[in-house]
Structure 1
């Protein structure tokens, strides 16, 4: 009996607590207010059918009493700036709300006008904060409302002119001018029909202003075009297009037709409504707006540092590759093509935080475009007749747009992984339609490798290809590329095969990737895949090696975690033994460094954590080796000793080039070597590491060597940036301290008639010890940055315009830049393609690091180019031309 009572009581208590927990959860659950529900409804508008939902949402807004205009305006602002593909339909909704109605409150302005007035406040905030994307999308909204005759034409013209005025600013950056041009040009593209009917002179004024600016960017465009000849500023527009150029061409075409064709490329759902009665509703006049001046943050830089204030990163013209003909995807040079490409780019930009949602919206984009623009999905009901000249393939258009954004030079807007992951999500959502578009894109890009595709774009292509294959079982029809094995071994197509396979192996393992290749590509003579899996190559493992015993003794000490002092003492003893040995004919110091480095890497080869532990445990030993001595004597470092350290690490990981990059990066991070040492080693060796050494001709600078240079450059530049921020923060602390002390002193003087001998009443006139130390570190790092940039530039110059004393002269460096040589590139061999690739990486170096190079432009030019003054050499002329364009100097210095 007691057991039953206990059971019933326990069950009751459990139910009681469970019900109470559910009650507490319900109490904590947020209940939406009517305002929040309406706001959510506005933002989610159009999920089913945007046209049919318009009257219902209009009625919901009108029925709200009392009206919360700020809440409605905020909903419109969020919707317009975060769902740009819906902007025409939100304009239609506001047009309906702008119409007087019996449902409104007597003697009250139309709801639409009240919302628009509050919406403008948010737009003004975007302008003040220089939020260019939000500003541009709001202008799209205003342009649609102008066509709907909700906004006055004169005020819209004034708004657009305020952005074209940016072109006249002194020293305006390209990034600022480009964004202002997009605001003015896209606003004109949408509102063109009503603006042109009002006055054609103002329309021509806006177009001419954009044209005048784009005419000044010819050389900049040449330097960042992803498909161009090295020596010729001619840009093939059939393979790539530039953002402002296609905007301008679209405006010119529309202007010729008096913007009558705008309705064929831009949805205008509000056109179905009758015009507003001007006697009842006066068009809204947009207030005057001034675009704030460009903000350049001048950071606190010591006067004796030799460095000017660092400005924000330079922005270049945006080029997008074209992959498909105009019957597959819209031509971006046409108004329709520009509108579609811009809409897709905006979706990608806004939804970068959620690639899955972005992929879904991209595939649903036809719902927000004009009917008949894209082919219907296979098996889907046909809701509209195909439009002549349109009927494009949606998936091909999307993939072309995504890859175009991915290949923007010198670097894409978002991280590479975002575009790669986005394509993967698209394939998962619709594999039957997106998969073929991806395959066609790969084949098109592969074919363009020998037609002038930029080396940086080719590197990204190989990276995307490998990651994409890893997500879909590494399934690719490699046999299609077997005939290209007859090309020169350094031909871009064969180089792409090697890089793609190397990346694939990093994402899987050697044996699996080997099985995916045709038999002809598996052969060592094909130079597509290595004979063995990536693995360490310990030079002293073979007992037949004459230094095997010496290396084993060092290895055992390191494995036993011997003290650094004991290891150094053993190395001193070993050095004496080797020097007295008659059989030893090698540099003893270099040999000892090689033994120690390879032994440490051998211990750390089991895993990344083993590697870091070994390095951190013997940091004093490694830094001691870098001084050029095996005892505790030594100073700042020995370049030859550091070169030996790098050579030993590269030799140990010669079958795994990724580990070479990792080890070099960690050596720089732990300050065992400097970025300058990596740059010097890369150019002095000039050959690929490992199994492809025999393929490297004179001064072969491939994507791998560029990765080494980029790692060193980024390390040096990053250290300066961090040091600058630290100096700025400490200087601010000192200034605040002085201000507080001065304020206390002023208060004391107001109270006391006689001055006090108070140490705190006197503000310090000297910098704090922390700031002094930071300034010294900043000065040292600035010198290192300058040296790294200088040595990199000198390395490129000596490689592309080699003198007789150059260590790795390539006689073809000068010939590959001529027009005749380019036209005969089918006959190029290994050295010609090596030289062509090196020229490509020099272009990437100048454009990608131009913000840092411009800081020392005059000094670097004098060091690297002054020796060529008066010389007539086409290679030198091209080197200077690329340099001057990157430095913003359109004429030779």
Structure 2
């Protein structure tokens, strides 16, 4: 097998897989990894030797505690590497490993328990193998614990769930059951679900009783009967039932008093519980009824147009398909997928319930009756308690790293909560491969895609490991699960030459349950997860980086899958079936993918689409890809890779360089602009520059006695021969435009240059932007300067917003209502005149047309940037207010505690000037409130009761002022947020009504002109606005509806309402 790694590795200590350690391997034959180098740190986590350390360090003392920690760490690392040897043979190697664990458990079983807990919830692909190892530990006759050597102080009294006569395996199982209950109490749904997977795998070994597992599933079914249950809660509970039944299959029908593991599958009614099938049927019925009553949004969460889905090319897989898979499993007699290993496939015949010499009560565990607690009872500390119960706390981890001198690179608590909980919903995911992957609505699809999805999500901490692991997925399943170029010997069980995947199923006939394409499955899973709406489970860049690693490992095999994916999406763009946001993300991924592989693509296939309207999705997608490629490389490099036809239709005719209005020496204000640039480069002070501005503005003001209008035929933009303008307003506009363009010109060399210039002349820019009209003029000047580069326009606007030179409302007005009365002097020679100018506003706007090109993606990105900026300010001030109130509450608590202790409130003086009270004894875990004030023995510092009262009053007034100021600031920024959202929604609503975008018929896209496709983009960005910012829209719902959507029959209002309803699903 290829090398596979545990996602959250711990440093230090060479184990029997890594070499370099002094501990003997449980296996007789050599393993990969090699020995550790002399003088180093041992074999290390990833295998191989550790070279000599280059720094002189003091040799640590090998105290009994440190030796115990090293042994525990080595035991965990060895277990994390379970099954990852190239020549791993389950029956023999699991036997040796179980004996080795038995020996190590004599020094304490807690490290064994901790390792199994982590393996279950963070190595989902190993669940059957973990169950087989537990089978060895439970059913082998020599696996009884040596109770005399077990430290009785190892656990707290509450943690003693195993009796002294329990085997190591039963001790582990009982600990996993206790962990499961803690996960459930903390609503760590993924940990709960993966624990259930293990319990299902232990049922055929009779270690977990089938009846107790069915009873446990009924507790999850009770969640589905709760009145008004939210989809985020009901879906998770239902998925636990669906995956358990699909994975457990007929094992869930077993009787508790029969040890025959093959009886049910062979049709032996004596091995089946008579009421078990009725119990499973009742569970299926409850899940089906829940699905029928489930109210969720479809259109806004669909990556493809719901009305235009082509079943032969584009499909979707969602919760409804999981329910169909459950019904299919029921109709097939509860038969599990044939590719999924069971412990009996991995264990020798001697290790089975029927062959075990141990009494049944010593090798089995019944799951407890539980209730799924309501989500409302989960407080903020519940998840932390769940983790603290089973592993070292953050403080302990910090101390350990401080002792060892190593950097703490462990997962943060937020990451732990995210990993334990998993995604909140069963998302609607795109599917486009047909016969080469498991079909939606089948048990095989539910089981296999769940394993892969958990691996992709859990291993986000290391994309290289994630790529190797998912490519090695066949090694954990039955041989033949994947065909193509996958080695026929890759797998845990089965014969390599057996074509078992054509399976006869009762009620459905012959079905395909193997021989799939691993490349197609990986590409489809990763890409579709990155396209989940409204947001993917992880940062979209992670999925791009993951696919990059996958392609790097297997470039020859996975390239065809990528090609088919791209062509399928491009074909679907022809009639507008793909969501606009999905197109944006797909373009981001594809451009980065090309940049990693020499920008090679079959561009000639797209030449025929160059004649389509400029706003057609295919044309827009092509332009976006080329634009992003230029950002990732440089203009001439990309131009060389494109055919001439594609270059003419998709590549800008000029490099993305600045368009400095005053660069031409013939411009009347070239000399003044050059002087200003030299002053900025010389780091002149802002007052000096302002004085120069005033002098220059006075020199170009109109002189009524001498000013004459320019000739009608000239092109001087309203400037006379002496450079004077027509009005005072034009003079101010010229000064402001020269200032912003000079700043941008000096800062155009790089982002850091631009940032330094803005910081240096922040006060000057603020002075030039004192009114909304001035701020919009600054935005216009900046956009004209970067008319060839929409990327730099976004960068400049972002920083202008950050430094409050412009306000969010100004950006929204600039986008939706660009000024058309800019003074002619600032337009002369500006970026509006360059080819494909990003800043140019059409002089005449036809019916249904827009003043902005919404097919460029960039105007929507500017709107999104602005909304995120104002939301970030609200969140920041909200957190600040919460922190201040928390500190004030603690301070008040401390003062009350001080008064109760007879001490002065100011924490410096005893209550009586003649007597200093003795310091009270501290509690075992003191808080800030319980700490006594530090006594001041100086009688000169004694204060009177009047002084104390006045001081207390001043402190109370100061405290109120502090929180009140924070609250006022928060309310002010919330008002700004409300205005910005009203402006954005109002702007889109006007465009929707002008263009009739919500009434368009996708069936007639072949006849659409450019204006129609512009309307399609406007509708797409409006949908994205509503679903992405529905939380903020909900917070300001009444004001938005009253000011933007007063008509209840407005179709745009209906979309907004549906987006808001997504929050309550």
Mark yes or no: TM-score above 0.5.
yes
1:141-160 equivalent positions in 2, closer than 5 A:
141-160=198-217
Aligned equivalent of 2:997: 813
1: CA distance, partners of 2:670 / 2:129: 77
Q: Does residue 1:679 correspond to 2:756, yes or no?
A: no
| Match among 95, 99, 119 for residue 79 of structure 1 | 119
2:174 aligned with 1:117: yes
Given the alignment of the two structures, is residue 738 of structure 1 paired with residue 855 of structure 2, yes or no?
no
Match of residue 136 from structure 2: 96
TM-fit CA distance, 1:517? 0.3
Distance of 2:245 and 2:841 partners within structure 1: 55
Counterpart of 1:46? 83
- Closer, same or farther: CA 509–125 of 1 in aligned 2, 3 Å: same
1:465-501 Cα shifts (integer Å, max 9, x gaps): 1111111111111111111112221111110110000
Distance 1:287 1:373 in 2: 36
- 5+ long unaligned stretches in structure 2: 1-51, 147-163, 254-271, 381-420, 491-495, 503-511, 708-719, 821-830, 843-848, 905-909, 914-943
Q: CA distance change for structure 1 residues 603 and 119 in 2, over 3 Å: closer, same or farther?
A: same
In structure 2, relative to structure 1, the CA distance for the partners of 1:315 and 1:644 (3 Å cut) is: farther
Q: Secondary structure at the match of 1:537?
A: coil
Return closer, same or farther for 1:65/1:592 CA change in 2, 3 Å cut-off.
closer
Q: For residues 378 and 202 of structure 2, what CA distance do their matches in structure 1 show?
A: 37
1:190 counterpart = 2:190: no
The equivalent of 2:1012 in structure 1 is 832
Aligned to 1:432: 556
Please give the per-residue CA displacement for 1:527-574, whole angstroms capped at 9, x wherever unaligned: x00111111000111133343344334434433433222322333333
Structure whose residues are more often helix by fraction: 1
CA shift in 2, pair 1:489/1:153, >3 Å? same
Q: In the alignment, does 2:440 pair up with 1:332? A: yes
Whole-angstrom CA distance in 1 between matches of 2:80 and 2:1062: 48
Report deviation, 1:763.
Answer: 9.8
TM-score under structure 2 length normalisation: 0.72
Alignment CA distance shift 1:189-1:692 (3 Å)? farther
Q: Among residues 450, 453, 461, which one is paired with 1:353 in the alignment?
A: 461
State the Cα distance separating 1:92 from its structure 2 match.
Answer: 1.8
Unaligned 5+ segments in structure 1 are 1-17, 300-311, 628-637, 803-809, 871-875
Aligned to 1:385: 498
| Cα distance change, pair 297–542 in 1 and its aligned pair in 2 (3 A) | farther
Whether 1:665 aligns to 2:798 is: yes
Q: Offset at 1:319? A: 1.6
Tell me by how many angstroms 1:764 deviates.
Answer: 5.2
Q: What residue number does 1:309 align with? A: none
Q: Which moved more, 1:367-376 or 1:285-294?
A: 285-294
Deviation of 1:674 after TM superposition, in Å, equals: 1.2
Which range moved further: 85-94 or 273-282?
273-282
Partner of 1:211: 288
Q: Write out per-residue CA displacement over residues 611-647 of structure 1, whole angstroms, 9 at most, x where no aligned residue.
A: 11211111111111111xxxxxxxxxx2221111111
Call closer, same or farther: CA 1:661–1:155 in 2, change over 3 Å: same
Contact 1:744-1:761 at 8 Å conserved across structures: no
Corresponding residue of 1:252: 327
Deviation at residue 118 of structure 1 after TM alignment:
1.4
CA–CA separation in structure 1 for the residues paired with 2:808 and 2:462: 37
- Secondary structure in structure 2 of the residue aligned to 1:321: strand
* Residues 199-278 of structure 1 aligned to structure 2 (within 5 Å): 199-217=276-294, 219-229=296-306, 239-260=314-335, 262-270=336-344, 274-276=352-354
Q: Give, in angstroms, the shift of residue 797 of structure 1.
A: 0.7
Q: Compared with structure 1, are the counterparts of its residues 753 and 558 closer, same or farther at alpha carbon in structure 2 (3 Å cutoff)?
A: closer
The 3-state SS of whatever aligns with 2:298 is: helix
Equivalent of residue 775 in structure 2, options 642, 655, 660: 642
The root-mean-square deviation of aligned C-alpha atoms, in Å, is 3.4
| Contact 1:742–1:762, Cα closer than 8 Å, also in 2 | no
Q: Which residue of 1 aligns with 2:483?
A: 375
Q: 2:757 aligns with which of 600, 607, 614?
A: 614
How is 1:491-890 mapped onto 2 (pairs within 5 angstroms)? 491-523=616-648, 526=649, 528-580=650-702, 582=707, 583=720, 584-585=725-726, 587-588=729-730, 589-627=732-770, 638-685=771-818, 691=836, 697-699=849-851, 700-702=853-855, 703-748=857-902, 757=946, 758-759=948-949, 765-766=956-957, 767-802=959-994, 810=995, 812-816=996-1000, 821-866=1001-1046, 868-869=1047-1048, 876-877=1050-1051, 879-888=1052-1061
1:224 counterpart SS class = coil
Q: How far apart are the structure 2 equivalents of 1:313 and 1:41?
A: 26
CA-CA distance at 1:94 after TM superposition: 1.4
Stretch moving more, 687-696 or 31-40: 687-696
- When the two structures are aligned, how many residues end up with a matched partner? 826
Contact 1:667 1:673 in 2 (8 A): yes
Q: Deviations over 1:200-257 (max 9, x none)?
A: 343234334433444455551221100015xx59896962324322221111100112
Please say if 1:293 is aligned against 2:358.
no
Change (3 A) 1:298 1:597: farther
Identify if the C-alpha distance between structure 1 residues 145 and 315 changes in structure 2 by more than 3 Å, giving closer, same or farther. Answer: closer
For the residue of structure 2 that corresponds to 1:241, the secondary structure is: strand
Structure 1 distance, partners of 2:305, 2:571, is 15
Give the distance between the partners of 2:76 and 2:893, measured in 1 at CA: 47
Going from structure 1 to structure 2, the CA distance change for 1:296 and 1:514 (only over 3 Å counts) comes to farther
Deviates more, 1:472-481 or 1:698-707: 698-707
Q: Distance in 2 between matches of 1:613 and 1:484?
A: 44
The 3-state SS of whatever aligns with 1:151 is coil
Worse overlay, 424-433 or 566-575: 566-575
Secondary structure, in 3 states, of the residue corresponding to 1:264? coil
- Displacement of 1:858 after TM fit? 1.8
- In 2, Cα distance between the equivalents of 1:657 and 1:532? 13
Give the Cα separation in 2 of the matches to 1:794 and 1:19: 65
How far apart, in 2, do the equivalents of 1:21 and 1:443 lie?
A: 55
> Is the CA contact 2:297–2:1058 (under 8 Å) kept in the aligned structure 1?
yes
Cα distance, 1:63 vs structure 2: 4.4
Q: CA deviation at 1:290?
A: 3.5
Greater shift in the superposed pair: 588-597 or 279-288: 279-288
1:476 aligns with 2:601: yes
Deviation of 1:398 after TM superposition, in Å, equals 0.7
